[in-house]
């Protein structure tokens, strides 16, 4: 089982080994600096392997990333920690804790008993998930209630959503679209500079009207808002990815693509190793949603590396690019080669001064 909206995690080979090492570190109650991930690589692996594994754990809801603003005003990851309520699933992933099954069964019983007590109160359902966990287990982040969906639904013979409610994530987007949700029409152009669409609205949308054939995904918030203010959303749907795609962003893109009108997804991100990895993550999602939709970069050309704002690669950047080029399945090989050749990388904010945007 996994939390609502989390991605199924499938790890093999060295990724599984990395996940176990990282899991043990986080289960010990410690946090990790993002820039120290390379220490988890092990024999035959490198930082890119570790970062891919970390992102898989993040998408599965097992690990959380703390972010802070950089000098450009955009958020960057700087710290990893075990996600709230992920202890049991992380122990199961690590696979060397014989107590995991016993701990799980005990917590399921306590959750069910507490939910039964709360449910008899008039108007109590659905109860807040964190309140339930606090009363049952003494802390709001001890477990994710959705991890116990099967046990709870079997005990009460009702869907979990009818019994428990949780916090939601939202995607920031704008463009010529309209969503019908519970009989009301949500217009993507009715709010400036963007509209925040919560996950339940994305999941429960009865219909979507789309007046664009392109989606432009944007890695960082400042460029996303700038393009919105400049009117780019009049002809395309803009989607802020916030770095790697989160749950809400993934569901929204799948909904747009499966509408059938979208022909192309463009992505604009930093011209650096992280930007390459984000593009690959996006391309995999689009391919899974529709094999007919093209995925291309936007304003991510080798020529842009001559911009005066481009900076030198770090030793870590060069190592990541070399690993990228060595992977025959990795996209954007020409761009990776160009970065190494000129020893430069570029943040997308540098191109905002270009009036041609």
Tens digits of per-residue pLDDT, 318-343?
A: 988 999 999 989 999 999 999 999 99
Q: Which helix (H) or strand (E) holds 104?
A: helix 100-119
Dump the DSSP string for 167-204. ---EEEEESSEEEEETTEEEETTSSSS-EEEEHHHHHH
For residues 227 and 151, state if they share a domain.
no
- What local confidence, expressed as pLDDT, does residue 3 receive? 38
User: pLDDT tens-digit profile of 102-153?
Assistant: 888 898 999 999 999 998 887 777 888 888 988 998 877 777 788 788 899 8
Query: What length is written for the chain?
Result: 357
> DSSP secondary-structure letter at 141?
T
For residues 188 and 313, state if they share a domain.
yes
Name the residue with tokens 């090492």: 21
For residues 73 and 114, state if they share a domain.
no
d(CA 285, CA 197): 19
- What local confidence, expressed as pLDDT, does residue 342 receive? 97
For residues 198 and 332, state if they share a domain.
yes
User: pLDDT tens-digit profile of 72-102?
Assistant: 666 778 888 888 777 777 887 777 666 777 8
Contact predicate 155/133, CB 8 Å: no
For residues 238 and 321, state if they share a domain.
yes
Q: Is 193 contained in some domain?
A: yes
Among the listed residues 261, 333, 248, the one whose alpha carbon sits nearest the alpha carbon of residue 297? 333
* Six token digits for residue 310: 């481009």
**Of 144, 165, 186, the domain-final residue:** 165
For residues 31 and 129, state if they share a domain.
no
Q: Is 2 contained in some domain?
A: no
Name the most confidently modeled range: 24-33, 114-123, 278-287, 331-340: 331-340
Binned at pLDDT 50, 70 and 90, residue 49 comes out as confident
Domain with 205, as residue range(s), is: 170-353
**Cα within 13 Å of Cα(217), Cβ side:** 32
Binned at pLDDT 50, 70 and 90, residue 197 comes out as very high
- What local confidence, expressed as pLDDT, does residue 7 receive? 42
């Amino acid at each position: 089982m996994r939390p609502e909206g989390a991605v199924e995690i499938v790890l093999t080979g060295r990724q599984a080994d990395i996940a176990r090492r990282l899991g043990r570190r986080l289960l010990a109650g410690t946090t990790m600096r993002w820039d120290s991930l390379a220490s988890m690589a092990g024999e035959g692996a490198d930082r890119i392997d570790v970062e891919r594994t970390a992102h898989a754990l993040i998408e599965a809801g097992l690990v959380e990333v703390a972010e802070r603003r950089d000098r450009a005003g955009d958020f960057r990851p700087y710290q990893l920690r075990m996600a709230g309520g992920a202890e049991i699933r992380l122990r199961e992933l690590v696979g060397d804790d014989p107590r995991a099954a016993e701990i799980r069964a005990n917590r399921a019983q306590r959750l069910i008993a507490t939910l039964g007590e709360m449910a008899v109160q008039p108007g109590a359902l659905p109860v807040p998930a964190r309140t339930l966990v606090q009363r049952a287990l003494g802390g709001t982040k001890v477990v994710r209630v959705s991890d116990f969906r099967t046990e709870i639904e079997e005990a009460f013979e009702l869907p979990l959503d009818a019994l428990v409610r949780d916090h939601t994530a939202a995607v920031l987007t704008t463009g010529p679209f309209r969503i019908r949700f519970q009989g009301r029409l949500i217009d993507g152009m009715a709010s400036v500079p963007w509209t925040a669409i919560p996950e339940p609205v994305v999941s429960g949308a009865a219909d979507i009207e789309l007046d664009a054939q392109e989606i432009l995904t944007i890695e960082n918030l400042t460029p996303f808002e700038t393009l919105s203010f400049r009117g780019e959303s009049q002809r395309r749907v803009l989607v802020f990815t916030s770095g790697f795609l989160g749950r809400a962003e993934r569901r929204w893109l799948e909904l747009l693509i499966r509408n059938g009108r979208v022909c192309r997804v463009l992505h604009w991100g930093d011209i650096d190793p992280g930007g390459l990895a984000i593009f690959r993550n996006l391309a995999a999602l689009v391919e899974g949603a529709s094999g007919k939709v093209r995925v291309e970069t936007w304003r991510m050309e080798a020529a842009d590396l001559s911009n005066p704002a481009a900076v030198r690669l770090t030793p870590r950047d060069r190592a990541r690019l070399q690993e990228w080029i060595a992977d025959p399945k990795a996209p954007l090989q020409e761009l990776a080669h160009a970065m190494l050749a000129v020893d430069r990388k570029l943040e997308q904010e540098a191109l905002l001064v270009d009036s041609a945007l």
